[in-house]
Amino acid sequence: MREDIVVSIGGSILLPKEDDIEGLKNLSKMLLKVSEDFNLYLVTGGGRIARKYIRWGRSLGVDEAALDELGIRTSRLNARLLILALGKKVYPVPALGFDEAISAGNHYNIVTMGGTHPGHTTDAVSAMLAERLRCKRLINVTSVDGVYSDDPRLDKEATRFDRLDHDELISIVGKNEGRAGPNVVFDPLAAKIIKRAGIKTYIVSGDDLKNIEAAIKDEEFHGTIIGDT
């Protein structure tokens, strides 16, 4: 039987640079190839566009939940762009909720989704979808090459982990302050969900398509594996 697999794709991975669509085209080609062997559920983040909207909204002085809504809408917009890049084999709209994603997955090899409700990020959406689908593995494609003891962009001394158990991940990401548009490697709520559901999670950098493909196929890859061994 084909394995159901959720791939969480940060918005900054879909569109790493302003006005550069080549990366999205190449990512889509790889995903289409992999979808011949796996049922893919692709959860897209809001990335740079979400952060811009959240920053503009915050300077208007609105509440955090209203800012979260801006993030949700931009993550769905990114899912739509990914759908257009993927072509005909994909469920033609971003699923708005888990029931829709699951039933669309009965008819399509690829289903996309953005955010759902205020208060978390698309990492949490991907963890909840993986839990609903009873997935054994979740792939998180992000802008760093794994989980570090601290943010490697801010702390040059931070060390990278090849493996972590669920509790170790929870204590590393637990420092998040909980405002709209956080930029931590993995959402603390997502970390709790993968623990309770016992989902092995692979954190992998978005800059090497072969490496992402290897992670999806459960082959050797460079990144961090989270799960109890």
Q: Residue numbers of the site for ligand UTP (CB under 6 A)?
A: 10-12, 45-47, 50, 67-68, 71-72, 75, 115-123, 125, 180-183
Cα–Cα distance for residue pair 29/41, rounded to 1 Å: 15
Q: Report DSSP letters for the chain, one per residue.
A: -PEEEEEEE-HHHHS-STT--HHHHHHHHHHHHHTTTEEEEEEE--HHHHHHHHHHHHHTT--HHHHHHHHHHHHHHHHHHHHHHHGGGB-SS-BSSHHHHHHHHTT-SEEEE---STTS-HHHHHHHHHHHTT-SEEEEEESSSSEESS-TTT-TT--EESEE-HHHHHHHHTT----SS---SS-HHHHHHHHHHT-EEEEEETT-HHHHHHHHTT---SSEEES--
Residue number with CB closer to ligand UTP (152 or 182): 182
Residue 174 CB, nearest approach to ligand UTP (Å): 16
Q: Are 164 and 229 in contact (CB under 8 A)?
A: no
The CB-of-228 to ligand UTP minimum distance in angstroms stands at 24
Q: Which is nearer to ligand UTP, 71 or 227 (CB)?
A: 71
**Nearest distance, CB of residue 210 and ligand UTP, angstroms:** 21
Q: How far is the CB of 1 from ligand UTP (least distance, A)?
A: 29
Nearer to ligand UTP, 173 or 216 (CB): 173
Asked if residues 167 and 196 have their Cβ atoms less than 8 Å apart, the reply is no
Q: Dihedral of CA 194/195/197/202: which sign? A: positive
Query: Minimum distance from CB of 119 to ligand UTP (Å)?
Result: 6
Nearer to ligand UTP, 51 or 195 (CB): 51
- Measured from the CB atom, the residue of 11 and 109 that comes closer to ligand UTP is 11
In the complex with ligand UTP, the residue whose CB is nearer, 104 or 109, is: 104
Residue whose beta carbon is closest to ligand UTP: 71
Least separation in angstroms between residue 36's CB and ligand UTP is 27
Least CB distance to ligand UTP at residue 8 (A): 8
CB closer to ligand UTP, 71 vs 105 = 71
